[in-house]
Every structure is written in structure tokens, then in C-alpha cells.
Amino acid sequence: MIKRRVALMSLAGLPLFLRGFESASAASKDAEVIGSPLRGSLDAGKHGLLPQASGNQSRKLQSIIDKASAAGVPVFLPPGAYRVSNITLPAGAHLTGVPGASRLIYSGEGFLLAADEAAAITLSNLSIDGVNGWMEGENAALIHLRGVRDVVIDNCAVAGARGSAIVLERCGGRIERSHLSGATQYGLYAVESRGLSIVGNTVADCGNGGLLVHRWTKGTDGTLISGNRIERIRATAGGTGQNGNGINLFRADSVSVTSNHISDCAFSAIRANASSNAIISGNHCLNVGETSIYAEFGFEGAVISANIVDGAANGIAVVNLNEGGRISTVSGNVVRNLSSVGPYPAENAGFGIGISVEGDAAISGNMIENCANWAMQLGWGPYLRNVSVTGNVIRKAPVGIAVSVAEGAGATLIANNLLSETAQGAILGFRWKDKATGELANGPSGFQHLSISGNRTD
């Protein structure tokens, strides 16, 4: 019996032993592959490119890229550091290496990598270092691509740009799993994009912006921005919101901004300016200096849902009805810990406001807590029209809901909200920033444009 038991125990342990042997064998094979070229690629090391060489190797690398592109094969960069500049990527160029080990170092003459009207460009598994060297051009960037139908930048680290890390003009494709850091301007500036996806990247320590999706003329853009981590974005060029944003949309319609983690931005986590039909959903927005999520100026259509805003001067603002900003839903957000201190002297109603809306908007199911000013601002002077506010929970704010009662303010429904610890009033009417009514939560408002019912105050 003892021998049989020992035998059975030995057999039971055999799968574990075999799995361990297979893992060890796989690790051994991986170790052998490190530094080996991608199958079917042209090995730059075997064609004269020297790792760690002190001189500029731009001509040699350009020749290798041109040869490989003509043959339709990738270029493999063995581990090492290569000092280059002014590399033009032809159609079909594919440059790859070993992550963290294959490094392109900008040698400081003009630009680093560029392409113009190329069908497809792929950069993968590379570390690209601008060493804060001077670059030429209005939109200077370490990687500057124009008119490329299918861009793939995957698993790359782009750092130290004296300008932007990446600039794309009229490009499509995807930027993914890459780390963009230390740019004096922007991590990524994409303009007039054509079906672009920006997914799963880290953008950090940039001077004036994280991810920018802009258009020269307003129109459908369709960029997808999802799963990125953005942190420590400054506004070194100053201003009142054009700089210092984690994600910034400008004139770009039908863009989705979902499931990003954004923190420590000088102005907004997400700022959509004149961008219609934007979806802003499921984002973490932490510790920003001005308005955390902003939809402003000439837009029609914004869905802002299921975001967490914790720490800002203002929470969520959907405004500028006077400029055509209209049609929005703001639902299921958590907005809390808003300060009265912003990055410039306070204007209008000031800072510390949880959610503010103006035109053709439905606000429902939000949780707002701990605001230094008004938890909710409905309208500004006459700029209030067709706003419904239902089923929200508001706690710890001097004023729960501040609604415009200025002449010209339009139809507003405030119903079935729960308001607690609002020391100055649960629902109050304002003419611009001046208080104009007593408590409106439980009685007739006396204003024909207001319908207020079913609210609970504590």
C-alpha cells in the first residue's frame, strides 16, 4: 500500500513537473530570441548599422529603410542606441526592435522621423529619445506623419521632445500601448484624422497638453480614445483653457472618449470645444486645476455619463448656449471635492460648481458632494432653455441648485432630487450671480418657466 501511494503521488506531481519543464524551455527559447530579427525582416545590424556608435548614422539607416520598404519587409533594429535625424519613411516602411533595448536617439538636425502621403507606416517596439533637442517646423515632433492612411505606432516609448512627441495630420490607423512623456508641447497632436484609434497609451509630464484631436474645419472625425492613462499635464504657455488639458477635442465631431484615467492636469481632464456628438463616458478624472469635464461653445450633442470627478475647481460644465452649445445628457456621474480656487481670477459665478448646464439638457442620476459653491448651476442670465433635472443626489454645498430667474430664461423642470446639507438653500433662483429668491424646493416658484416638485431636502 505504501509503495502504491508513493507511486500515485509521483504520478500526480508529473503534470506540475512537465509544466515547469515547458516554462523553463519557453524561457530559454525567449532568451535565445532576444536580439534576433523579426522573421522575414532585414536586420539593420547585418547591413552596417552599429549600436552604440558615437557618430550620426542617419544615411546608413535611411538606406536600409529604403531597401527594406522596396522589398516589402520590415527593418529590425538590434538592441543598442543609434544616433540619427532627418529620417524619411517611405510608403510601407516598418521599423521594429526589442522593447526597451532598441533606441533611436535624435542627433539634433531638423527632425527625427517623418512621412508624407505614404500608404502605410508601422513603428513598433522602439524607444525614441529626443534628448530635448531643437526641431524645425511649426508642429515640431519626433514623429511627424502627414497623409498616411494606415499608421501603426505600437509598444513604443517616445520621450524628450522639444515640441510634441507625435504629430499626425490627415492620418488614420492606431496609436496603442505606447508611452509618451516629457514633451514640451503635446504627447499626441492629431488633426483632420481619418478613422484613428488611440488606445491603451500612457501620456505623462507634457508641457501644454496630453492627447489633442483637432480639425482645421469643423466636421466628422470619429476618433476613438480609450483606455489611456494621462497624468501631470502642465500649461506652460498659459491661457484660460487652450492649454493644460489631458484630452482636448476641437471642432472634431463624433469622437468617443471612454475609460481613460486622467489626473493632475493644469486645466481640464477632458475638454471638448465645438465638438458635436461627443461621448465622454466611464473616465476617472482626478485632481485637475479648472473644469474637469467641459463641453463648450458651438456643439450639438454631448453624452457625459458614468464618469468619476474627484478634485477640481469645477466638475462638469456643458455651456455656451449663446454660441450654439446645446443638446446633452449628463447622467450617472460622481462629482465631488470641488474647490473655490482656480488657475485664474474667478469669473461669472466663480469656481466650486459641481455640474452646470444651459441648453436642451437632461441631468439625471448624478451624485454631487462637497462643493465650495453651487452643487448645480442651471443657466446663466437668459441662457437657459429646456433643461430637465431629475433624480440627483446632492450633499454638502452652500447652495444645492442655483437656477436662473433672469428675464428670458426658458423652461426648466426640477423634480425628485434629494438635497442634503445645503446651508444657504436647496433650490434658489439667481439673476446671474445675485440671489433673487428664497427657498424654492417645496413651494410654488412664482416663475412661469420653472416647474419644481417632489424634491426632498434634509
Question: What pLDDT digit, counting tens, does each position of 348-362 carry?
Answer: 999 999 999 999 999
Residue 425's pLDDT is 98
Residue 13 has pLDDT above 80, yes or no: no
Q: What is the dihedral of CA 312, 252, 178, 283, to 10 degrees?
A: 40
252: Cα within 13 Å, side-chain hemisphere: 28
Average pLDDT over residues 428-433: 97
- H or E stretch covering 4: helix 2-33
Q: Is the pLDDT of residue 1 over 80?
A: no
The overall longest dimension of the chain from CA atoms, in Å, is 96
pLDDT at 409 over 70: yes
196 close to 168: Cβ distance less than 8 angstroms? yes
pLDDT class of 229 with cuts at 50, 70, 90: very high
Domain positions in the chain are 87-457
Q: What is the dihedral of CA 340, 344, 350, 351, to 10 degrees?
A: -40
In tens, the pLDDT along 57-89 reads: 999 999 999 999 999 999 999 999 999 999 999
Q: Are strands 434-435 and 425-431 parallel, antiparallel or unpaired?
A: antiparallel
pLDDT tens per residue, range 294-345:
999 999 999 999 999 999 999 999 999 999 999 999 999 999 999 999 999 9
Asked which of 10-14, 98-102, 286-290 is least confident by mean pLDDT, the reply is: 10-14
Give the Cα-Cα-Cα angle 111, 115, 118 (nearest 5 degrees). Answer: 175
Q: pLDDT tens across 138-158, in order?
A: 889 999 999 999 999 999 999
Mean pLDDT of 206-218: 98
pTM, two decimals, is: 0.91
Q: Are strands 412-415 and 278-281 parallel, antiparallel or unpaired?
A: unpaired
Residue 136, amino acid: E
CATH code assigned to 87-457: 2.160.20
Q: Which of 421, 410, 368 is nearest to 391 (CA)?
A: 368
- From residue 450, alpha-carbon distances to 386, 443, 444 in Å are 10, 11, 9
Set of cell numbers at residue 291 = 473644469
HEC readout, 58-108: HHHHHHHHHHHHHHCCCEEECCEEEEECCEECCCCCEEEECCCCEEEEECC
pLDDT more than 90, % of the chain: 88
Above 50 in pLDDT, residue 24?
Answer: no
Band of residue 36 on the pLDDT scale cut at 50, 70, 90: low
